[in-house]
Amino acid sequence: MNAMVTGSEAEMPEIGYNFAYLDEQTKRMIRRAILKAIAIPGYQVPFAAREMPMPYGWGTGGVQVTAAVLGPDDVLKVIDQGADDTTNAVAIRGFFEKTARVATTTRTGEASVIQTRHRIPEQKLSEDQILVYQVPIPEPLRFLEPRETETRELHALAEYGLMHVKLYEDIARHGHIATTYAYPVEVAGRYVMDPSPIPKFDNPKMDDCPALQLFGAGREKRIYAIPPYTRVVSLDFEDHPFEVQHFAKPCAMCGARGVYLDEVILDDRGGRMFVCSDTDHCETRQAEGHHGEMWGGMLAEDAR
Amino acid sequence: MTTTSEKPLLVAEGLGKMYGTRLGCRDVSFSLYPGEVLAVVGESGSGKSTLLGLLSTELAASSGRVLYRMRDGTLTDLATLGPAERRLLMRTDWGLVRQNPADGLRMAVSAGGNVGERLMAVGWRHYGNIREEALDWLGRVEIAADRIDDDPRAFSGGMRQRLQIARNLVTRPRLVFMDEPTGGLDVSVQARLLDLIRSLVAELGLAVIIVTHDLAVARLLSHRTLVMRQGRVIETGLTDQVLDDPREPYTQLLVSSVLAA
Amino acid sequence: MTPLLSASGLSKTFVLHLREGARLPVVAHAAFEVFAGECVALGGPSGAGKSSLLKMVYGNYRTDAGAIRVRDGAETVDVATAEPRRLLRLRATTIGYVSQFLRVIPRVGARDVVAEPLVVDGAAPDEARERAGALLARLNLPERLWSLPPATFSGGEQQRVNIARGLIAHRPLLLMDEPTASLDAANRAVVVELIEEKKRAGVGILGIFHDAEVREAVCDRVIDVTAFQAAA
């Protein structure tokens, strides 16, 4: 794309692309699938996923959902593992800047549509926001039952014993539920759903969330949804209740507690620090004057 | 025997199955009572596996019907059950022990998980309780407690088969279907398994329909025997009657073909 | 007094399909009765159909014609026409059978083999095992053998296990097929004693006793099976 549209040409109206890349018929088809998904929370709706100008695994499902819900007045934020500046996030943001000419932002609070891979922003979402997840494998039962015909029937009959077999195996082998991401949830008391590979730390944020949450799987051609203010429960055992990760120290940069931290290796002598995975959240806090123990050091590092 | 045991648990009426123009089985009728062990014997292609498939609702009948006495006492035509009811029946009130344990077990799941699956499927949500129950059942099928976290790929054929039995019996079913459960096992392993099945069946008062080509298995385990040939039941009766005083030419041939050890 | 067992018009012919449908007549129009507390021997030369008759009474062999009425409490059951389930119940409550050979059950020890009928009757397993041990001791089976499966026992040892299993529980009608065939004199005497005890308990016995000494000691009368011989 960059090869096609460069320099001053970028200022010109995009000839050859419909708004947000997909044609209107395709967007209508995807919107119908989204509406059905919202009507049946947690249920995987098949849709005719298109080839996108990016490889599978780069968020083709999420991109198609975003394209279908995006309007000219929307403000788009794209994150990958919580960061706005990774290759995947930058590429997708650039894609919609060029094909839809929508405004983009890195600020969670300013965005109306947020496409994400592997995280939910730390800042609480609001009713006028849509969170679009990129999903690699939508089927939570696949680990134990590879037959699609069988898993569909299991969903239809709400036969979810298998999900607990997976958790049982975790406890039997590790002494605790070792599943730390893509941790299965039950949506609205009915369907069990794979929340995409977000850390289980983020699972509680899905529950009773004011924002609409949409999930798109491009290769697997499935869309599912959690409507606003829906009950989302992480599966567990009575004697091994669901728990999120706890971090011993606050963010080394902004001092935040109760957020998801990434480990950053500093040198080859074992030096490391833990910083917010959500870069926008961390920068906002630093700008507000919150500082962690490594804050000065990093500034000095940057200054050199 | 109590009065409830006077009512049949399962009734087959004129059961038949065609695979296109090929006959699977035809016009099979019998009643099975609680606690009764019925052997279906015959050689390969006699229709005994087809019959088992029809009875366990894995196959749809071309004619006839199968009635089952549900836990509430009503005799219900299994064809009228919805898929949810049917599956509930299969994972609670019924067991199905397959010839090849790999078909009846989850080979990548630990022994404990294999036994616990049915419990979790019916709503058990306490890990400690599930594990305790799994341990109890592993003990009953003579699998050492310290193997509970090993998956069945590390088990011998006989152990796998015993694990499959535990996995099926953990919900205390009233009826168990067994398809050649000792097929493919060494003779000494077979003897141990047969003895285990025999004592569990007696202890739990299970009704069993066991398909086998091995008349010794029928003799050791079953009260009654159906002899099948070319898709039809050609002779029935008490097992010792059928084996010691066979009437039909084919049954006489079967009985006389057994090698005496 | 009504008999425990009343057979009438019994006929049986084996048809051997593997030998071009050869017909092997066994008995025709057999009729006999057994009353409580008596021991009746089936007499006649080998091949006269004594064993087959005994097996017909037990329901092990099927009956072509006639009736075998067995008193079961207040009911009378015709073995020749009874449903398999009824027959099993009759065997569980009323008819005991001491066969000529022990049918070995893999892996089950001798004492448990003997105790099983008591357990089926509802006795506590410990009590059943204790009584089984006592009976095996009476039959001079060395205690070191009790926990072993009888498959490897000698013929005489197996036969004593078999007799113990057949006699341990109370059954009003006992069928015995040469119970002393492979026993020595001492053990024959024990079996005679056991049979006398059964008779005193009101058990009716129908049996085949080749050993003349045993037959004379226990049997009240002999039914000559050659009288039932079918015209071949």
Residues A230 and A267 in one domain: no
Contact yes or no for B110 and A171 at CB 8 A: no
Tell me the CATH class for B3-93+173-256: alpha beta
Instruction: Print the SS3 string covering chain B.
Output: CCHHHHCCCEEEEEEEEEECCEEEEEEEEEEECCCCEEEEECCCCCCHHHHHHHHCCCCCCCEEEEEEECCCCCEEEHHHCCHHHHHHHHHHCEEEECCCHHHHCCCCCCHHHHHHHHHHHCCCCCHHHHHHHHHHHHHHCCCCHHHCCCCHHHCCHHHHHHHHHHHHHCCCCCEEEEECCCCCCCHHHHHHHHHHHHHHHHHHCCEEEEEECCHHHHHHHCCEEEEEECCEEEEEEEHHHHHHCCCCHHHHHHHHCCCCC
Task: Using CB atoms, pick whichever of C84, C89, C107 lies closest to residue B192.
Answer: C107
Which of residues 131 through 190 in chain A touch B, CB cutoff 8 A?
Answer: 144, 153, 156-157, 159, 161-162, 164-165, 168-169, 171-173
Flag whether A52 is in a domain.
Answer: yes
Instruction: Give percent of chain A with pLDDT exceeding 70.
Output: 92
Residue A68: closest CA among A34, A27, A109, A97: A27
Q: Give the pLDDT of residue A89.
A: 95
Interface test with C, best of B252, B256, B257, B258 (most C CBs within 10 A): B252
Chain B residues lying within 8 Å of C16, measured CB to CB: 252
User: What pLDDT score was predicted for residue B5?
Assistant: 55
Instruction: Determine the angle formed by the axes of helices B111-121 and B83-92, rounding to 10 degrees.
Output: 130
Chain B touched by C62 (CB under 8 Å): yes
Answer yes or no: is A153 within a domain: no
Is A241 an 8 Å CB contact of chain B?
Answer: no
Which chain C residues are Cβ-neighbours of B33 within 8 angstroms? 85
Query: How many folded domains does chain A comprise?
Result: 2
Identify which of A157, A159, A168 has the shortest CB distance to residue B127.
A168
Which run of H or of E encompasses C30? strand C22-34
> Is chain B touching chain A, with at least 3 CB–CB pairs below 8 Å?
yes
Burial of C163 (0-12, 13-18, 19+ CB in 10 A): buried
For every one of its 261 residues, what pLDDT tens digit does chain B have, with 9 covering 90 and above?
A: 444 457 999 999 999 999 999 999 999 999 999 999 999 999 888 999 999 999 999 999 999 999 999 999 999 999 999 988 999 999 999 999 999 999 999 999 999 999 999 999 999 999 999 999 999 999 999 999 999 999 999 999 999 999 999 999 999 999 999 999 998 888 888 888 998 999 899 889 999 999 999 999 999 999 999 999 999 999 999 999 999 999 999 999 999 887 654
What is the pLDDT averaged over residues A146-171?
Answer: 93
Q: Give the chain B residue nearest A164 (alpha carbons).
A: B120
Of B191, B194, B223, Cβ closest to residue C88: B223
CA distance linking residue A180 with residue B88, whole number of Å:
31
Judge residue C228's burial from the number of C-beta atoms within 10 Å of its C-beta, 0-12 exposed, 13-18 middle, 19 or more buried: buried
Structure tokens at B165: 């039995």
Dihedral angle over CA of A12, A15, A20, A22, nearest 10? -170
Domain range for A295: 261-303
CATH of the domain at A213: 3.40.50.11310
Among A258, A251, A253, A254, CA closest to A285? A254
All residues of chain A having their beta carbon less than 8 Å from the beta carbon of residue B87 are 157, 159
C60 and B252: CB-CB below 8 Å? no
- Is residue A211 domain-shared with residue A72, that is, in the same domain? yes
Query: Quick one: A226 and A272 in the same domain?
Result: no
Each residue's pLDDT tens digit, C171-223: 999 999 999 888 999 999 999 999 999 999 999 999 999 999 999 999 999 99
Residues 88-117 of C with CB under 8 A from B: 88-89, 105-108
Question: Does C55 sit within 8 Å of B248, measured CB to CB?
Answer: no
User: Which residue has better confidence, C102 or A206?
Assistant: A206
Residue A63 sits in the same domain as residue A135: yes
Q: In this model, does residue A1 exceed pLDDT 70?
A: no
Instruction: Compare all CA atoms of chain B with the CA of C103 and give the residue at the minimum distance.
Output: B220
Q: Per-residue pLDDT tens for A131-142?
A: 999 999 999 999
C162 pLDDT tier (thresholds 50, 70, 90) = very high
Residue of B108, B112, B127 lying closest to A240 (CB–CB): B127
Q: Name, in order, each residue with C-beta under 8 angstroms of A300's C-beta and a sequence gap of 6 or more.
A: none
Work out the number of other CB atoms within 10 angstroms of the CB of residue A5.
Answer: 17
CB contact under 8 A, B249 and C17: yes
Phi first, then psi, for residue C145 (nearest 5°) are -90, -15
C-alpha C72/C-alpha C93 separation (Å) is 8
Answer whether A120's CB lies under 8 Å from A202's CB: yes
Question: What band does C47 get if pLDDT is binned at 50, 70 and 90?
Answer: confident
Confidence of residue A304 (pLDDT cuts 50, 70, 90): very low
pLDDT tens for A160-185 read 999 999 999 999 999 999 999 999 99
Residue B259 pLDDT:
66
Count CB-CB contacts under 10 A for residue B26: 20
Task: Kindly list the catalytic residues of A.
Answer: 42, 251, 254, 276, 282
pLDDT for residue B3: 41
A125 and A269 inside one domain: no
Amino acid at position B73, single letter: G
For residues C10-29, average pLDDT: 92
- Partners of B108 on chain A (C-beta within 8 Å) are 144
Q: Which residue of B has its CA nearest to A235?
A: B125
Mean of pLDDT over chain C: 92
Contact check, Cβ <8 Å, A172/B131: yes
How far CA A182 is from CA of A45, A47, A138, A192, A234, in Å, comes to 19, 22, 10, 12, 10
Q: What angle do the packed helices C110-121 and C125-138 form, to 10 degrees?
A: 130
Interface test with B, best of A145, A163, A168, A174 (most B CBs within 10 A): A168
Instruction: Tally C-beta pairs within 8 A across A and B.
Output: 55
Please state whether at least 3 CB pairs lie below 8 Å between chains C and B: yes
Tokens 């892996």 sit on residue: C107
A164 and B120 in contact by Cβ < 8 A?
yes
| Interface residue ranges in chain B relative to chain C, Cβ cutoff 8 Å | 1, 33, 36, 191-192, 194-195, 198, 220, 223-224, 237-238, 240-241, 244-245, 247-249, 252-253, 256
Q: What pLDDT does residue A301 have?
A: 52
Q: Which CATH architecture has domain C38-62+83-224?
A: 3-Layer(aba) Sandwich (3.40)
Residue B43 has a pLDDT of: 86
Collect all residues of chain B within an 8 Å Cβ-Cβ radius of residue C85.
33, 36
Residues A120 and A212 in one domain: yes
Question: Cα torsion at B25, B31, B34, B37 (round to 10°)?
Answer: -50
Q: Which of A15-29, A65-79, B5-19 has the highest mean pLDDT?
A: A65-79
Chains in contact with B, counting 3 or more C-beta pairs less than 8 Å apart as contact: A, C
Q: Contacts of residue A157 in chain B, CB cutoff 8 Å? A: 83-84, 87
List chains adjacent to chain C, taking adjacency as at least 3 C-beta pairs closer than 8 Å.
B
| Structure-block tokens of residue B126 | 């306490």
ipTM above 0.95, yes or no: no
Cα–Cα distance between C60 and B243 in angstroms, integer?
Answer: 9
Q: Residue A297: which pLDDT band, with cuts at 50, 70 and 90?
A: low
Beta bridge partners of B63: B16
Residues of B in contact with C89 (CB under 8 A): 1
Q: Do B117 and A239 touch (CB under 8 A)?
A: no
CB B76 within 8 A of CB B67: yes
Determine contact: C59 vs chain B, CB below 8 A.
Answer: yes
Enumerate the β-bridge partners of residue B179: B211
pLDDT for A20 equals 93
Per-residue pLDDT for C231 more than 80? no
Calculate ∠ Cα C108-C114-C118, nearest 5°: 115
